[in-house]
């Protein structure tokens, strides 16, 4: 317990405090406008008496404070320390989903839409976020029907003898072949920006004016195109529900139940609800502290920061957070707590979504617990397998051999605990030796990564024996082991038909496998874990092979060796991105001259698909 004298000695300036437990382990990192006042609220005579907070404070043996000049600096430092130490009682935003946005760079000669993962400060306009790449591409597909912008890099299109098939189906205006003027193309670009910004009235007004001008100038075909475009736009807009006027907003909804905290972000872009994201945490401390920490970490990622964030409650350090978000965005960001009107209704809608997400999570947790109990009973495990790890090997004739580990916690995948292993010591195609290497590296390096309750290997007795021998040789006990063998297909006795055997689970000390009931929840869970380990291993194996093939293709270009091929792939991320880049973008890479950039562009262009089979985004 922190003494009263120690509290009196703490500065009243803004800063960060670190609660430490035994052996100096950091249990919690918090920020405060007034450090002494905040620490006193925990340890002083009038401290918070809630059970969960008393439970945390009983573990605290030491307290460290770091003074900052401003609240904003305290927010930044808190976020940095949480990411560095991952304290047990802080919000840990482990988001396994990727954010996608649409990028439109008006500085290009003829701008086009691209789906990107990162929101960069490069002068381009970004619209989103979208829940998945498929959702973003669906929007792009719809937009190309309304606004036929180009699909491919301009230089690539200009090398074609004639416009691509997208022009034939009226989803490209073929600026590469001069079939649309710059001014008319720019009107399409402006239309896309207005549409994605939710400024439907300005959009309709602009195209009505263009239609009238074309008709007055007796350009009737052009006027007819604007007429059809206006009709399609109005039909599309009728399907959308407008909730407020203009502006980009994020509404925050909260639901707290027992130790579960669910945060929902509702995205409103240009007055239209475009989607939502939900996050759940184990949290039992102050809600305002949770919201502030969550927003500071969430908006530190490569996501779109809106004009305004609507909050369900006031934040003690709201001014510092607003300043931090404004600095990251490059424009002013407001944090408001609406009490009435449409914005208040949006916060209530986000809260309803948070409540629904919490109920679904709790029901799923109860179902998962029941499945794990049944699994423990059927496999005769000594305890409930709360944390399960599964391992698989993938290679092709011994080349690019890799191993994978997937981790399920509480019956659900935890992708932050997934691991990939490149095989180092086995040169030939020997799955048993490769599995032994992967398991040995995992178990020997378990000091900072606790071992699971149950380890599953993809295979039968042979693979299981490798795991058992390794655990025994290292003197590790208390870890359950199992091998999951795939079902086998064999001819039925006396018949020409084939039959599929059941999935088999092998356990130590048992010669015969355990056969779980077909389609039973425990078997489906095991199969899902095994299949996920296989998918994860195969995807990594393919990635290494594709990377090697990409390097080989680039190294065939005169002037590009192993070093420059690595530089190009590291900079652009993939061969497809190098192919879609312009000569200027390639030559801007460190170490790449314009001559080499032209050679790379020409070589990759020769590998482009034919006009009859255009490559999609």
H or E, element range at 435: helix 431-444
**pLDDT tens digits for 307-362?**
899 999 998 878 888 998 998 888 899 999 999 888 898 899 899 989 988 888 88
Return d(Cα 228, Cα 382) in angstroms, integer.
Answer: 69
Starting at the earlier edge strand, list the strands of the sheet with 62-67.
Answer: 26-32, 15-20, 62-67
Q: What is the per-residue pLDDT for 375? A: 93
| Structure-token pair, residue 365 | 């947790």
Beta bridge partners of 483: 457, 506
Where do we find the tokens 């393919």? 542
Return d(Cα 581, Cα 609) in angstroms, integer.
Answer: 16
| Structure-token pair, residue 445 | 């390096």
Return d(Cα 78, Cα 90) in angstroms, integer.
Answer: 10
Q: DSSP secondary structure string, 20-64?
A: E-GGG-EEEEEEESSHHHHHHHHHSTT----HHHHHHHHH--EEE
What homologous superfamily does CATH list for 387-540? UvrC, RNAse H endonuclease domain (3.30.420.340)
Domain limits of the chain? 4-85, 248-359, 387-540
| Structure-token pair, residue 457 | 């290997």
Quickly name the fold that domain 4-85 has. GIY-YIG endonuclease (3.40.1440)
**Is 128 in contact with 102 (CB distance < 8 Å)?**
yes
This prediction has a pTM of 0.59
132: left (phi over 0), alpha (psi -120 to 50) or beta: beta
Return d(Cα 396, Cα 238) in angstroms, integer.
Answer: 53
Decide if 248-359 and 387-540 have a common fold. yes
Q: What is the per-residue pLDDT for 52? A: 58
Q: What is the per-residue pLDDT for 495? A: 61
Q: How far is CA 460 from CA 270, 393, 436, 485, 487, in A?
A: 56, 14, 14, 5, 11
Q: What is the per-residue pLDDT for 337? A: 94
Within 412-511, strands assigned E span: 412-413, 419-422, 454-458, 480-485, 489-491, 498-500, 504-506
Q: What is the per-residue pLDDT for 293? A: 87
Q: DSSP secondary structure string, 290-346?
A: HHHHHHHHHTTSS----SEEE-SS--TTHHHHHHHHHHHHTS--EEE---SHHHHHH
Question: In the chain, which stretches have pLDDT less than 70?
Answer: 1, 44-55, 94-99, 131-132, 135, 198-203, 229, 232-247, 396-399, 427, 446-448, 487-501, 547-552, 605-617
328: left (phi over 0), alpha (psi -120 to 50) or beta: alpha
**Is 506 in contact with 513 (CB distance < 8 Å)?**
yes
Side-chain half-sphere CA neighbours of 165 within 13 A: 8
Return d(Cα 259, Cα 358) in angstroms, integer.
Answer: 11
Three-state DSSP string of 278-302: EEEEECCCCHHHHHHHHHHHHCCCC
What homologous superfamily does CATH list for 248-359? UvrC, RNAse H endonuclease domain (3.30.420.340)
């Amino acid at each position: 317990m922190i003494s009263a004298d120690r509290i009196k000695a703490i500065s009243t300036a803004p800063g960060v405090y670190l609660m430490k437990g035994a052996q100096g382990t950091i249990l919690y990192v918090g920020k405060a406008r007034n450090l002494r006042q905040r620490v006193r609220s925990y340890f002083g005579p009038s401290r918070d008496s809630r059970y969960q907070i008393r439970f945390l404070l009983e573990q605290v043996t030491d307290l460290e404070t770091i003074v900052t000049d401003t609240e904003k600096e305290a927010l930044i430092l808190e976020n940095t320390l949480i990411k560095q130490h991952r304290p047990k009682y802080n919000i840990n935003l482990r988001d396994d989903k990727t954010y996608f946005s649409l990028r439109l760079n008006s500085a290009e000669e003829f701008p086009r839409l691209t789906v990107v993962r990162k929101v960069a400060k490069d002068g381009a306009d970004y619209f989103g976020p979208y829940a998945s790449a498929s959702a973003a591409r669906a929007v792009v597909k719809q937009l190309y029907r309304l606004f036929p912008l180009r699909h491919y890099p301009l230089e690539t299109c200009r090398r074609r003898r004639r416009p691509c098939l997208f022009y034939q189906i009226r989803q490209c205006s073929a600026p590469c072949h001069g079939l649309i003027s710059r001014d008319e193309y720019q009107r399409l670009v402006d239309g896309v920006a207005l549409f994605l910004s939710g400024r439907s009235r300005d959009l309709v007004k602009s195209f009505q004016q263009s239609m009238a001008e074309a008709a007055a100038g007796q350009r009737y075909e052009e006027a007819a195109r604007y007429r059809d475009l206006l009709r399609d736009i109005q039909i599309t807009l009728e399907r959308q529900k407008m909730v407020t006027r203009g502006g980009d907003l994020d509404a925050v909804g909260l639901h707290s139940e027992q130790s579960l905290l669910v945060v929902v972000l509702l995205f409103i872009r240009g007055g239209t609800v475009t989607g939502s994201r939900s996050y759940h945490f184990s949290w039992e401390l102050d809600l305002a502290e949770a919201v502030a920490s969550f927003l500071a970490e969430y908006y530190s990622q490569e996501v779109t920061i809106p004009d305004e964030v609507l909050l369900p409650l006031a934040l003690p350090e709201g001014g510092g957070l607003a300043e931090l978000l404004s600095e990251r965005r490059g424009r002013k960001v407001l944090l408001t707590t609406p009490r009435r009107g449409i914005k208040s209704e949006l916060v209530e809608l986000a809260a309803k979504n948070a409540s629904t997400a919490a109920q679904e999570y709790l029901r799923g947790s109860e179902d998962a617990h029941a499945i794990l109990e049944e699994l423990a009973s059927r496999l005769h495990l000594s305890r409930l397998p709360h944390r399960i790890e599964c391992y698989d090997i993938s290679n092709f004739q011994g080349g690019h051999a890799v191993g994978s580990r997937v981790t399920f916690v509480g019956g659900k995948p935890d992708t932050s605990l997934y691991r990939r292993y490149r095989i180092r010591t086995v040169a030939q195609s020997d799955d048993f030796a490769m599995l032994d290497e992967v398991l040995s590296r995992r178990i020997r390096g378990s000091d900072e990564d606790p071992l699971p309750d149950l380890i599953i290997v993809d295979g039968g007795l042979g693979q299981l024996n490798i795991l058992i021998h390794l655990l025994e040789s290292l003197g590790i006990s208390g870890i359950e082991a199992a091998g999951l063998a795939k079902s086998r297909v064999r001819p039925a006795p006396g018949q020409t038909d084939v039959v599929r055997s059941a999935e088999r689970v092998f356990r130590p000390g048992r010669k015969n496998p355990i056969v779980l009931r077909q389609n039973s929840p425990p078997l489906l869970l095991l199969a899902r874990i095994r299949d996920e380990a296989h998918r994860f291993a195969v995807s990594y194996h393919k990635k290494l092979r594709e990377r090697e093939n990409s390097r080989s293709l680039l190294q065939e270009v005169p002037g590009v060796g192993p070093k420059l091929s690595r530089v190009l792939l590291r900079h652009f991320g993939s061969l497809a991105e190098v192919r879609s880049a312009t000569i200027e973008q390639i030559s801007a890479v460190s170490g790449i001259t314009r001559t080499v950039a032209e050679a790379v562009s020409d070589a990759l262009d020769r590998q482009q698909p034919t006009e009859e089979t255009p490559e999609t985004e």
